Amino acid sequence: MLILKNINTFYGDIHVLKNVSLHIGQGEIVALIGANGAGKSTLLNTISGIVAPRSGRISCGGSDITGMSADRIVREGISQVPEGRQIFGPLSVLDNLRLGAYCRRGSGAAQRIDDDIALMYEMFPRLHERREQLAGTLSGGEQQMVAIARALMSAPRLLLLDEPSMGLAPMVVSEIFRAIARLRDQHATTVFLVEQNAKMALKYADRGYVIETGKIMFEGSSQYLLENHEVQRAYLGRQKKPIWE
């Protein structure tokens, strides 16, 4: 579905992404793990059109989307849940969801949007309970649910998630990740997941990549990365011990 080939992204003269190549297949959950400053968010922002790559190619479903504007990329079927949620705090939960569907037009769109709002309430029942509440007054976990549901309202083929566990209690994190798994299993949504909680990310992902200082250093199945000694030592808090010990 998504292919990145030799992507180089800069902030001014700072070379952040260095010849990054990766692929994400239809229906997969793929994790990207790495330390702070490794380039994880920059990679998502490059895919979603917030930052333009200086060189390389990005294709989605066979279409070249390199350098497209962010709104066009949403129309191509890619939606991002940004780091820090960035919901519209002064608006209600319902209005946040409706804004997520801003690009959906045409005959029957209004009914499909209403149907998808009902689906979001089914996925996140607390959002239904708080649908008229100002989003900025919700708990951190509920705000993350709003951010994910808002992104899903654009009916994406590919969902980009940037640090969905950030600042959340462990029980809420587990709830969010179970919802991510349901997106794949029940709705065939493809997910590219950026996470510092490497163990949690790899528990739910099919495959993963490890990025360090803007370069992809490791890639493979989640099991392979969980058992890789270097990945264990750097990201899983283990010192060259088998993952099952």
Domains of the chain: residue spans and CATH: 25-77+156-245 (3.40.50.300), 87-142 (no CATH)
Distances (CA, A) of 205 to 44, 161, 187, 198, 209: 17, 12, 16, 10, 11
pTM attached to this predicted model = 0.91
Q: What pLDDT, on the 0 to 100 scale, is given for residue 107?
A: 79
For helices 140-152 and 93-100, the axis angle rounded to 10 degrees is 30
Q: Let me know the angle formed at the C-alpha of 78 by 138 and 125, rounded to the nearest 5 degrees.
A: 30
Residue whose pair of structure tokens reads 């969905």 in the numeric block: 164
70 and 50 in contact (C-beta within 8 Å)?
yes
Q: How far is CA 215 from the centre of its chain?
A: 19
Q: What pLDDT, on the 0 to 100 scale, is given for residue 237?
A: 66
Helix, strand, coil distribution of the chain in percent, nearest 5: 40, 25, 35
What are the pLDDT tens digits along the chain (245 aa)?
899 999 999 999 999 999 999 999 999 999 999 988 999 999 999 999 999 999 999 999 989 999 899 999 999 999 999 988 899 999 999 999 999 999 888 778 899 999 999 999 999 999 999 999 999 999 999 999 999 999 999 999 999 999 998 888 888 999 999 999 998 888 889 999 998 888 999 999 999 999 999 999 999 999 999 999 998 888 876 544 433 33
- Long-range contacts formed by 201-206: CB under 8 A, 24+ apart: 201/31, 201/33, 202/31, 202/33, 202/226, 203/177, 204/29, 204/31, 204/177, 204/180, 205/28, 205/29, 205/30, 205/31, 206/28, 206/29, 206/30
Nearest C-alpha neighbor of 52 from the set 66, 73, 37: 66
Q: What pLDDT, on the 0 to 100 scale, is given for residue 243?
A: 36
104 and 113 in contact (C-beta within 8 Å)?
yes
